[in-house]
Amino acid sequence: MINSIIIAPKINAERVKKYLDSGKRFDGRDKDEFRDIEIETGVSVKAEGSARARIGKTEVIVGVKMDVGTPYADSQDAGNLSVMAELLPLSSPRFELGPPRFEAVELGRLVDRSIRESKFINLKGLCIKEGEKVWNIFLDVYTINDDGNLLDTAILAAIAALKEAKIPVYNEETEKVQYGEWTNKKLPLSKEIPMPITVHKIGNNFIVDPTREEEDLSEVRVAIAMHDGTIHSMQKGNSDPLTTEQFSEVLDLAEAAEKKILKKVEKYLK
Amino acid sequence: MTTIKRPDGRKVDEMRHISAKVGIVPNADGSAMYQSGKTIAIAAVYGPRKMHPQHAQDPEKGTLRCNYTMLSFSVAERAKPGPNRRSMEISKITEWALEPVLMIDKFPNTVIDVHINILQADAGTRCAGINAAAMALAHAGIPMKGIVSSISVGKLDKTLVVDLDKAEEDWEEGEGATDIPISMTDKGELTHIQLDGKISTKQLKEAVEMARKACKQIYEVQKKALKEGSGK
């Protein structure tokens, strides 16, 4: 079956773990080091904002579209954010057409919470008329190539797309958004950018930014979004347990990794 | 650390009143109810039984399949029935939280279904669901290495508190509310953690310690309920 081709052969699994035990990874990186990161904006001129992020060979694009709608009952004076993610079949032999499966749903929700919980978007700044009209932001995530760590790649692309986005023209009389026409106004964003640091446990070791081969061996995944040592969202994945000591190790590694990733993305996300 | 006045007057490390019971669904192989304050979860276990369709069978171990659902009238504004993205995620997280204690390698090609329904939601529903499910699995007689207990630790402004209720979840003063649902085995291993809000790594370590103490108390409640309900 196809699975036998794509799932890392057991022989490699042993070698990956052995290497990690001696402090090495196949591509020579440190455990808290990301692959090369590239971010570019302007993937689609039709979008309010869009971006492509690459971490190594993993690539994700994110587009922002906006419209005007009514606020939620519990946030009458704030705009809405909705995030959707799709694992496109073009990006991996593992992804198939059809309704979203758990992996896609979780990816969307984790991107959503990293943006929302860090208050990166000031949603209150997107209220047009309290209780009646607010901006909706649709942030849509599409995978282009999966070589591991789609989540962190998606969050970086989302941040870049939001930073690039311009608010479209809204016609008060017709009560319609004039798509294709933009104001000069950018989205109300915070300077405190959430950094995605997803930590994986392989054997006795913890690493960030796994390649596909490494991620296939991941026993535990802890998805973290943090800014300057402060954690805004976290979700443990997979069913192996962690001792509290191991959990502390995850946090320490994340803090070290945040300092390193900042150096790589600074020039793109100024 | 500054002290904070909790809306219902609880101490920072005080959980809501808990009640727990097993054997609430006679048809099921195992079942349980777990109530924490105004949050009520019920869980029923069916299985291990043969997995259908056959291609979904795992010849190496059984499959744990959890299904978390909020009943439409469990919240202030009617919840649309049926699965949604939130419930899909909580279902999966519940599986991850419980699997480490289940000896499902003893039941190849089978599935164990755990249905969790929230009757009344006042925050902490996923934790209540996990607590009920762990009890229901034990009640069903499925071999387990231990029990999983779950609690939400929260940070209100700058203060850590245990077991957030809805009023606290909506806390807006100061730094607002940070919600950290955590599940642990009775040996103190983390099987689940989520976090939404804002917290330093140092304080997060304290939160985990707080959860460990609370989970110990919950474990005692679960154990007591199972003993009382033994024999179905």
Helix (H, G, I), strand (E, B) or coil at B133: helix
Write the pLDDT tens digit of every residue in B18-39: 999 999 988 899 999 999 999 9
Q: Which of A73, A105, A239 sits opposite B96 (nearest CB)?
A: A239
Assign residue B194 the CATH number of its domain: 3.30.230.70
Residue A69's DSSP bridge partners are A134
Cβ–Cβ contact A109 with B under 8 A: yes
Tens-of-pLDDT digits for all 270 residues of chain A? 344 445 556 778 888 999 999 988 999 999 999 999 999 999 988 899 999 999 999 999 999 999 999 999 889 999 999 999 999 988 998 898 888 899 999 999 999 999 999 999 999 999 999 999 999 999 999 999 999 999 999 999 999 999 999 999 999 999 999 998 999 999 999 999 999 999 999 999 999 999 999 999 999 999 999 999 999 999 999 999 999 999 999 999 999 999 999 999 999 998
Q: Do the domain assignments include residue B7?
A: no
Q: Do the domain assignments include residue B4?
A: no
- The domain limits of chain A are 2-265
Helix (H) or strand (E) holding B205: helix B201-228
Would you call B208 exposed, middle or buried from its count of C-beta atoms within 10 A (0-12, 13-18, 19+)? buried
- Give A-chain residues touching B93 at CB under 8 angstroms: 235
Domain span at B113 = 18-226
- Give A-chain residues touching B191 at CB under 8 angstroms: 236, 239, 241
DSSP annotation of B102 reads: B
Interface confidence, given as ipTM, is: 0.78
- The domain tally of chain B equals 1
Contact: A230, B199; criterion CB under 8 Å: yes
Tell which of A106, A244, A250, A258 to mutate to test the B interface (max B CBs under 10 Å): A244
Contact: B88, A102; criterion CB under 8 Å: yes
Q: Do the domain assignments include residue B179?
A: yes
Cβ–Cβ contact A107 with B under 8 A: no
CATH number of the domain located at residue range(s) A2-265 in this protein? 3.30.230.70
Contact: A243, B204; criterion CB under 8 Å: no
